[in-house]
Chains A and B, each alone.
Chain A
C-alpha cells in the first residue's frame, strides 16, 4: 500500500492523521500539488491511496474510513453521517474560508463563513454530551473533522469563542497520539501560509451553485492549424483577384447534352418504388444525396444531367391496386404525383423525373432483351414457383415469408434474408407462407428465361476492376460487390408470371413480363429517353460520360453486378457506372422506420412539421449515413438547428451584415488586410480546399463540417476584434472595424456559395441580403477553391434579417410524440396502410407578398435598433419591456408574412 500526499493540502492532513491514529503500515510519498497519480483523472487528486489490488482511492474521507476499517469494525451510520456532512456541507464552507484567509487576506471574515457548520457541530456535541462525535472513543469521524478544521481553528482563535463544545472536542482530538505530527508534516509549522500554493491551484469557490455550461458539442477538439507565411500571402493574393466575368450560370438549357471538352456527369438516383411514400431514409439515401452532388457539380462548372423517376411495375403495385379498387396504372399515376410533390418540397432539382411505365421503357427493355438473346446470354429453364391456391396466383418473392435456409432467420423474405443478407430463391425457404393469407403455397413448375451471369462473369470482372480502381466507389459498394463475386454468380431469372410489367417479346413467353430487377434499372435509360430523343448520347457514350449511381446499400448488387451484366451482354457500347455511391441505413430514434407502425417521418409529413425544407435537408445531410448506419433523432435535430445553424452559421452571417448596415450605412467599408486578417483568409481557404476535395469524392457529410468550421472561425474573429467597440474609437480603430466587417461579409458570401448544394433557399437568401453578384457562384469553387473578395468596398448590401429560427424543446417534444408510432395504432388496426395524402392540393406555403415581408423586415430591424439603443442607454425597465414586446409582435407578423410558423424566436443567449 502506498499513500501519495502533498504539503499544504488540508485533505492530506486528514489521511495522515488517520494513518497515525490507526497505526496502519503504509508507505507515504510526498509529491507536488500537480502530481498526477490517478491515471484516469485529469485534475490532480491528492491524497491518493494505492490499494494492494492496484486500485486507487482518491477521496480523503474514503481513505480515512478504509484505514480505520482495516483494524476495526465497519464504520457506523453515525460515523458515515458525519463523513458525508463533512464532505458536502463543511468542505464547501471551509474552501471559501480558506480562500478568504489564505489568498485574499480577509481572515476576519472567516467566522461568518464558518458559523453555520460550526453551530451544527457545537449543538450536536453539546446535546450528545459524549467525549467524541459518536461515542467515548475516537472514531474516523473525529479524525476527519479535526483534520479538516485544524488549519482554520488552530490560528483563528476567535472562531471558537462562541463554540465551547467544539473547542473542548477539538482539543481532545488534538491530544491524540499522531494528530499533531500529521499537522506538522502537512503545514510545516507555517500555519495557513503553508497552504498558499495549494489554494492557488483550487478553482475559486462559488457562493452559489452555477449551472454547468455545455458548449457546442460540434466544436471539434482539433488543435488550431498553424498557417505559414506563404499560405497567408497566397490567400491574400487570391482574395484580390477578380470575379469570373464569364459564364454566369444562367438557367440550364434543356435538354442538357454531353459537351466535347467538358466533364459530362450523368447522375441517377435509385428509382423509388412507386407505391410507398418515401421516408427520410429513402430520401437521404438516394434523391437528396444525388441532388447535393448535382448542384455541386454545376458550381464546379461541370455539365450535369440528373435523372430519376418512379419504379412502377411489379406485384406490389398490382396488390395495391386491388386494395384500393383502382387499376395499376391509376395507382401509379396517383403515387407518382405523391413522389413528385415530396421531392419538390425537398427541393430536389431533377432535370427530369420520369417513370418506368412508358413506351420507351418497353422499347429499350425489349431491345436489350433481344440483344442478350441474340448474343447467347439467355438460357431457358423450368422454375419451381410458389403458387397460393387460396389467392389463385403465383406468389412474387416478396409475398412469401419463411425461414432462411442459410441462417434460420424466421422472417426471411422470398428474395432476400434481412438477417444474413443472402439472396434466396423463394422455393428454398423453409416453411413458406403466403404473406397475404398465411396459407402454405404449393410448388408449381413454369418455363422461364435466365440471364447467364456465369458466362458474363469474366467480362464483368474485367470491367469492375477498371471501374472500381478509377472511380469513386464507396467502401460498402466495393465490399458488397466483392462478396457477391466470391459467392459465385448463378443464372438469374428475368421473367415472371405476372400481368403488370414490361411484356416479354419472345413468342414462347408471351404471357410473361420482365422481372423488376431486370426491368427497373433500364428505367434510367428510358427516363432519359423520355427527356430527350438523343438519350443515346448519354447512355451509349462511355468515353465522354461519367455515370454516378446514388443508392442505399441494399441496392448495390443490382447496380454493380446484375445491371452491368445486362448492359455488357447487350454489347451496344453502353455507359456503365463509373462511381457507385451507396449509403448505409438511417434509423429513426434507434429503431427502424415503419409505415405500418407509424414510426418515423415520411416525406409527405416533413412539410407539416413547420420546419423549413432547408433545415430538413441540412440535418439529414448532417447525419447522412456515410460509412456507417446513423439515426435521425428529434432532440439532435433541435440541437443541431440551435447550435450549428442558429448560433454558429446564422449568427455569423447575420452579424457581418448587421455591422455593414448599422455602422457603415449599408455599404461595404474599405478593407486594409493585416497579418491577422490574412491568417483568417488562409484558414478559410484551407477549409474551402478540404470542402472541395471531399465533395469531389462525394463525402457530403464530411464536407458540411468544413462549412461550419468557417463560420466558427468567423465568429471567433469577430469576437476577438470587437468591431462594435472599435467603431466608436479613433480613426485607426474605426478603420480596423471596417476591415473586420468587410472581411466578415465576404466570408458570408463565400459561405452562401458553399451552402448552395445543401440549403439552396438559404443560400439564395444570403446572397439576396448581401446583394451579392451572381458571378460569385461560379468563381469560388473553381480549381482547388478561390476565395475572392466578391463584395468590394462601396458595394451596397440589401436588407439583413435572421436566417434561422430556434426549435423549442416543447415543439420538438410534440413532434417526437406525433411521429413516435402511437398515432396509427391508436386509431386503426395496424395492418391497414394509412390513407395516402391528398396530392391534388399540395399546400406549398403561398409565396407571400414580398413587399409586405420587406416592410415588416425593415420595421423589425428598426425596432430592434431602438431596443438596443434603449438598453445601452440603460433606460427604464418598463420602457424597454414595452418596446421589446412591440418587437416580438413585429417579428411574429413577419414570420406569418413569410409563411413560417409564428413561433417567437427569443434570441436568448445570442451574442452581440
Chain B
C-alpha cells in the first residue's frame, strides 16, 4: 500500500526516473534503495525526501512553524491513523473539529500533509455511509477538495461526496 502511495507521489511530483523500493518487516515498511547513499526507511521519511528531490520545498511548509505543522500531521498519519490505537470514529471526530475553519491541514496551501493524509484516510472515507459523511462534513469537504487537486488522486478511486445534506434532523 505504502509503495503505491509513493509511486503516486512520484507522479504527482513529476519525478522523471522512478526510484527502486522494497519493504521491510511484517508491517511492510517501505525502503527506498539508493545507489550512492544509504537506503531510507519509512513512509514519511521517504516522502519528505522525494519532495526535496523534486525541489518542491513549499510542500513541506513555510518557515520553521509551518514546517512543524506539516510534520505534525505527517506524524499523526503514521502514528494515529495507521496504528488503529484509536478507533476510526474518534479520529474522524477530531479531524472534523480541526478542519472546521481550515481548507488545508497545514497553512494556506496544499502540503505533503494533505497528500499523505488523503492517501491514508481514503479507505475509511470510502466505507462511510452518506449519513456519516455528513456527520464528518468538514473532513468530507477537505477530502473532496484534495481528491480533486490535479494530479493527487492517481491510484485511488474517487469517492462521491454529496454537496447537499440529507439528514438534517440529526442531533450532533
Contact = CB atoms under 8 A, between A and B. Distances in A.
Contacts of A84: 41-45, 78
Interface stretch (B5-13, B14-22, B125-133, B145-153): B125-133
A163 B85 CA distance: 30
A112 interface: no
Contacts of B68: 51, 57, 62-63, 65-66, 69
A81 B40 contact: yes
Given A69-B64, A84-B42, A211 B78 contact: no
A209 B87 CA distance: 11
A222 B72 CA distance: 34
B36 to A, nearest CB: 14
Interface residues of A, number: 58
Interface string B112-154: 0000000000000001111110010000000000000000000
A214 B65 contact: no
A137 interface: no
A636 B130 contact: yes
Nearest to B170: A220
B94 A77 contact: no
B3 interface: no
A730 interface: no
A62 B75 contact: yes
Given A40-B94, A627-B168, A639-B129, A80 B72 contact: no
Contacts of A88: 27, 29, 42, 78-79, 82-83
B172 A221 contact: yes
Contacts of B171: 220-222
Contacts of B94: 40-42
Contacts of B49: 77, 80
A74 B127 contact: no
Contacts of A91: 79
A63 B68 CA distance: 8
Nearest to B96: A40
Given A57-B68, A627-B168, A639-B129, A590 B90 contact: no
A218 B129 CA distance: 9
Nearest to A631: B162
Contact of A77 (B48, B84, B172): B48
A209 B166 contact: no
A58 interface: yes
A628 interface: yes
A446 B162 CA distance: 47
Interface string A78-112: 10110011011101100000000000000000000
A808 interface: no
B169 interface: yes
B93 interface: yes
Interface string B62-94: 001101110110011011001111111110011
Nearest to B72: A62
Nearest to B38: A78
A203 interface: yes
B88 A59 contact: no
Contacts of B42: 80-81, 84-85, 88
A42 B90 CA distance: 7
B168 A85 contact: no
A803 interface: no
Contact of A70 (B64, B87, B131, B172): B64
A702 interface: yes
A628 B164 contact: yes
A213 interface: yes
B165 interface: yes
A59 B84 contact: no
Interface residues of B, number: 54
Given A209-B83, A623-B166, A40 B45 contact: no
Given A55-B65, A57-B72, A628-B165, A92 B83 contact: yes
A62 B71 contact: yes
Contacts of A222: 171
Contacts of A78: 38
B93 to A, nearest CB: 6
B165 A217 contact: no
Nearest to A80: B45
A631 B130 contact: yes
A594 B42 CA distance: 48
A59 B72 contact: yes
A589 interface: yes
Contacts of A212: 84, 87-89
Nearest to B128: A217
Contacts of B40: 77, 81
Nearest to A211: B84
A203 B166 contact: no
A61 interface: yes
A221 B78 CA distance: 29
A462 interface: no
Contacts of B160: 589-590, 633
A43 interface: yes
Contacts of A483: none
Contacts of A43: 86, 90
A474 B168 CA distance: 15
Contacts of A221: 171-172
A629 interface: yes
B97 interface: yes
Contacts of A214: 88-89, 127
A630 interface: yes
A226 interface: no
Nearest to A624: B166
B166 A631 contact: yes
Contacts of A51: 65, 68-69
Contact of A213 (B44, B87, B130): B87
B95 to A, nearest CB: 8
A63 B166 CA distance: 41
Nearest to B52: A77
Contacts of A58: 72
A42 to B, nearest CB: 6
Interface string B27-68: 101000000001011111100110000000000000011011
Contacts of B27: 88-89
B137 to A, nearest CB: 14
A630 B169 CA distance: 13
A217 B64 CA distance: 41
A92 B72 CA distance: 18
A629 B164 CA distance: 7
Contacts of B75: 59, 61-62, 87
Nearest to B64: A69
B78 A217 contact: no
Interface string A738-756: 0000000000000000000
Contacts of A636: 129-131
Interface in A203-238: 203, 206, 209-214, 217-218, 220-222
Contacts of A702: 169
A220 B160 CA distance: 23
A89 B71 CA distance: 18
A480 interface: no
A27 interface: no
Contacts of A633: 130, 160
A62 B172 CA distance: 32
Contact of B168 (A40, A52, A628): A628
A85 B97 contact: no
Contacts of B131: 217-218, 636
A216 to B, nearest CB: 10
A60 to B, nearest CB: 9
Given A55-B69, A217-B131, A636-B129, A81 B41 contact: yes
A907 interface: no
7 contacts: A40-B97, A51-B69, A53-B65, A58-B72, A203-B85, A629-B166, A636-B130
Give me the 10 closest cross-chain CB pairs, A-B, nearest first: A84-B42, A40-B97, A66-B68, A40-B98, A59-B75, A212-B88, A81-B45, A630-B166, A80-B45, A62-B72
Given A69-B64, A220-B170, A631-B130, 8 more contacts: A55-B69, A63-B68, A69-B67, A77-B40, A89-B29, A210-B84, A214-B127, A629-B166
